[in-house]
């Protein structure tokens, strides 16, 4: 699975693509609710390529939350997970895992967040630590934080610090307009959000969040500099 496809399936996909089931009452902090979202995907890479993906949020016996992504396309598989907690409306990651398999090639990343020592340990083929401070997300938990913030407070843009690749990166998102989407799950309004990148990175990533579906990502589109397009559409939602 190429890095381009990995970004889309993450959703960013990271962006990225992720996508949070939220119930809000007045000014109260919304509570997380378990969900399982299924997506169908297609890639215009000179030929039609189809795949599927799922995103799931469930509570652990210890009272934390486990958010996971599983994706499959052709001979490639991707799995990603984040163990987290939520306090005062903010999501805090504790452990992040990523695994990608393409034919006989594998890539694995593990990040352990130690908030008492204020450091994160990243393990791939070797291991190293870096200092951290809250608020900080991993590449998967940032999806839920964005969805949560979008449902709670209207804003033109959102910015997050993310532990990625053994360093801290800034993820920026811009809110555009609302569009009607024709999806396998039905017709829904979606709030269009764009992942902003620096000028040297011409890749474009857009996510449509559906308020009627508790702000689940309903569609994810990624456009490469060469014009190739990758898309994921919500097919089924269990919550």
On the question of pLDDT at 181 being above 90, the answer is yes
Query: What was the pLDDT predicted at 44?
Result: 66
For residue 60, the 8-state DSSP code is -
Q: How many CB atoms lie within 10 A of CB 232?
A: 28
**What DSSP letter does each residue of 10-28 carry, written as one string?**
HEEHHHHE----EE--TTS
What's the fold here for domain 3-238? Answer: YmcC-like fold (2.40.360)
Domain ranges of the chain: 3-238
Ramachandran area for residue 140 (φ above 0: left; ψ -120 to 50: alpha; else beta): alpha
Listed residue (152, 147, 210, 145) closest to 26, CA to CA: 152
On the question of pLDDT at 121 being above 70, the answer is yes
Q: Which residues contact 6 (CB under 8 A, 6 or more apart)?
A: 78, 100
- pLDDT tens digits for range 153-170: 889 999 999 998 788 999
- pLDDT tens digits for range 139-156: 999 999 999 999 988 899
**Distance (Å, whole) CA 27 – CA 119:** 33
Assess contact for 141 and 19: CB atoms under 8 A.
Answer: no
The dihedral over CA atoms of 132, 137, 140, 143, expressed in degrees to the nearest 10, equals: -170
Backbone angles phi, psi at 91, to 5 degrees: -90, 130
Query: What was the pLDDT predicted at 45?
Result: 56
Assess contact for 232 and 8: CB atoms under 8 A.
Answer: yes
Assess contact for 12 and 220: CB atoms under 8 A.
Answer: yes
Q: Residue 4: in which H helix or E strand, if any?
A: helix 3-10
Per-residue pLDDT band for 5 (boundaries 50, 70, 90) equals very low
DSSP reduced 3-state for 8: helix
Assess contact for 24 and 49: CB atoms under 8 A.
Answer: no
- pLDDT tens digits for range 46-84: 556 788 999 999 999 988 999 999 988 776 788 999 999
Distances in whole angstroms, Cα of residue 124 to Cα of each of 31, 77, 97, 99, 160: 34, 18, 10, 10, 24
- pLDDT tens digits for range 184-212: 999 999 999 999 988 777 789 999 999 99
């Amino acid at each position: 699975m190429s890095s381009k496809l990995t970004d889309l399936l993450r959703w960013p996909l990271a962006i990225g693509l992720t996508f949070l089931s939220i119930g809000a009452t007045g000014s109260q902090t919304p509570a997380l609710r378990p969900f399982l979202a299924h997506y169908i995907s297609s890639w215009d890479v000179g030929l039609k390529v189809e795949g599927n993906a799922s995103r799931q949020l469930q509570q652990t016996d210890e009272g934390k939350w486990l958010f996971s992504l599983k994706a499959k396309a052709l001979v490639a598989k991707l799995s990603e997970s984040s163990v987290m907690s939520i306090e005062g409306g903010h999501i805090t990651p504790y452990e992040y895992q990523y695994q990608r398999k393409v034919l006989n090639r594998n890539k694995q990343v593990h990040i352990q967040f130690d908030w008492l020592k204020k450091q994160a340990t990243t393990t791939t083929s070797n291991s190293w630590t870096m200092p951290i401070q809250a608020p900080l997300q991993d590449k998967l938990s940032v999806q839920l934080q964005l969805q949560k913030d979008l449902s709670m407070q209207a804003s033109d843009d959102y910015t997050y610090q993310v532990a990625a690749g053994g360093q801290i990166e800034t993820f920026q998102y811009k809110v555009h307009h609302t569009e009607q989407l024709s999806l396998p799950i039905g017709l829904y309004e979606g709030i269009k959000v764009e992942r902003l990148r620096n000028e040297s990175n011409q890749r474009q990533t857009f996510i449509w969040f559906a308020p009627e579906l508790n702000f689940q990502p309903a569609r994810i589109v990624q456009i490469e500099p060469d014009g190739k397009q990758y898309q994921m559409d919500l097919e089924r939602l269990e919550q």
